[in-house]
Structure 1
């Protein structure tokens, strides 16, 4: 049946505008044969009738009145056909006499089926309908009154179509005539195509007086050129139309009984033109035309492709003569007495199962490859919407044909039900052989029908191909891929064969997978691609190969936004960093928290990676949400080499976080004297203050960073900077008992008796906290132990423990 996919059809239907057509150059159908009664038909098709379940026989069927259809402007959908335009009666009541007055339509829909009923819509476009009306007129003139058309005779929206899908082949078997209506396409706009057809037509015309076939071909080609359209090649490639043609087995019908010569030659033209890009486009036509014409078609393709590419016939000398000869042979085939039909027998079914997965026949959905032929061999009613039913039907056909398991595995893969196949012992052996690299055993098991699609649920759904790639067994991987193993078949985690080859550094396996069409952007569930994992593991060769193949170098992980460049920096894979930068990876692309590759290099202290990024002009000021920059984090983590490189690159040495902490502040707080010196030499602001008001010297004093305090004093830092309450660096040092800092500050001229707002002196604070060594130092340096606070309390009054004895 010609049914199409359900999509929005507004655009497609717009193409159905009426168009004027010139007179036909050849009879629409060469002849219409007498009907053959049911009992005269071969058993392999007659059994469709005799084996039909009673429920299907009693269900009503519809035949359209040709006189009514000829009065329509286009086909009407089942739900909009008026009762007066058709017969509705149970199939069991349609006898040979009525079938003798009936025809069936086998066709390729020109437009898809809308998801919802659209008034007046038809999938038959106007060029098709014009052709069909001419055919119907010829049928009517030969005593045929009725026609069966799927769009009009099978429920499309009001109920399930399954009854007619199951039994429609019987209608094709019993009707007196079957007619074929293909789609029609405009002649390609390239001038060279039209010129070729004109020259071929002229060549045919010159030979027309000697050959009726040449004369007929010339007339038809001129008609095609006048109409500016050719019939589409797709009809003979569809699996449903194959099933419909098979129902005519035993009638010795030829192409001229089914379709016009113009339609047939148009199909040959279209197949020939499409094959310049895809040589499989003419595969079925070579089968129909026969060996000699098929070989000629093959010879035409290369010079034709050259002519189309250059836009010149001069590169394809003699091409028009070969094309003319092909058309002459096609006319012979149209009128040939050789039997074209295929019989629905067990040998045919076996050959069909062998090639159905190769794509010789096309289908709207993959399941049609089974359902289109199923009722020729099995009347068991299954739910065609269920994958398990599809597998069951495939298994039924395999048993009928006596097919080898490998036939079923290949088609099961195409149908998407391979994972539902029962696991056999050979499948498990295939897994083991692939893992250890036993290529001869792998080949042997595949020939026996081992399922290359199988996944090991106990091992994260790993496949045989995955195991071979993980271990680097190139020869095994080649054999498995050639046998149809899923090249992108991933484990539960999303890890695919290309991932495992990349992360394990198996460069030759990785090259092969890429050449074989593996998806270079296949992802773990966290978003990691093969390029990402190659970068993560530092597999430079694999990384470079993926970069050369055009893999996304800026892919991000879903959770934290890690990129290949970020992870190579974090893992210190310097050569990988260099390769990514050379390939144009975004040097400033940050993690979700704002960390850039440069920030990460500064954070980890990887000066070599940081220099590569700076040489690539990475932005030195991009940083975290907190405001921390690469210079800040390098200063915090005490990486002088990174600090020096960043300062020389012009990084802002005073850039602060949101809390106002600067690189100098944080390095002073942590006592990183080498970093402090670098920043001081670079001119960092020594008076920048934290949100509390503390400056670098204050926080250095507070944390006993005496070398930093001395360095800051040497650069002229304000030793008397005050915080709330009058606290200065010497007070913070006294509170903490930092003897060396107290001494350095006093030696630098700080008043040893400098008081807080409440009158407390450094000696008072040290005594209060029980810092005996600090008290001793201050007393030695002449601190006044009689100075009290605003309440009159003196150091001795607040001293803790043994400190009071010092006062």
Structure 2
């Protein structure tokens, strides 16, 4: 009898080890000898074979276990599901497989009361974050709970996924969450300092990129936490000087998305990407003037960035924006078909921080025909040889030249001054601060 228990224990440990290292043949052999081992767990953390496979990205073994009728929502000692561990470790194929198998995205662990969405945001795995959000769109969660409520779901300490992404310096996750309806003004409970907004937490973490994203979505620089501190004060306390300079209430306000108009959400995705890029570049130009002369001034463009010869594929005059006479027309208004550059489109559609007293503004209108702008798409750009150009190519950048702006209609004069933003995709702006990389480690065994 003792020998039988010893063999069973040996097989059990062998199964967990084989799962961790992806030894598919051993896993199949052990389960063939004793199919009941598929439901066994480790001694201390109560990890099942499915937990270990998901955390280590062993998609073939995950598939075998799920095909063997293993519950995709098994809980370990901390009430974590395999989906949570896959999201934590960034194993996108396992995340997708578990979701397809019916894993519940609305389960909370017992450590911090977090969901798989919190884990993906905290550890900065954008592909997993997108997969979970897509699943929420197409599942009963959006019907029973509401998608917006899920995006802004709070953990046991009152932190939303956006709070965690901002604190952990995950700008890509911050952008995805904001783009999916995360509340930029939400405050925490016990996480961080009570009453902190994502901007407070980004200031504490010192991520300029997170701060840029939050400010562009209308985050309030004057919002105070429970102790009365604004984000500027938090950045100073933690010695993040560049962040403090941007958060200083006396510095110029950034451009923000026109959320009261619900305009950006109705854009063609390609046009939206162009406008997002143009807006972020415009705010980076604003940052340069704020940081000019300080120790936080970004480095000057390299020699290779100066004097780039862009005459190889210079657009014809008819392709230039008739408002600023400087940038190539990349955005087309439908249904009228008039074209503008992305910067001038921003001047029409983006404003400073929305004022609650003017929340019912009328929709922006085309400056050429005065019709309401219902839809924007990417304009098809042609060269003189009638061949299509890549909108992201630096060859589309036309060198600045002296022009008499009175050539255009007088109604555009003020607008052209507003729309003189930085170039799209300029290499000289660069990143001021690098983000920390998270090193993935395989889940340890404790048998």
* TM-score of the pair, normalised by structure 1: 0.28
The structure that is helix-richer by fraction is 1
* TM-score of the pair, normalised by structure 2: 0.48
More relative contact order, 1 or 2 (CA 8 Å, 6+ apart): 2
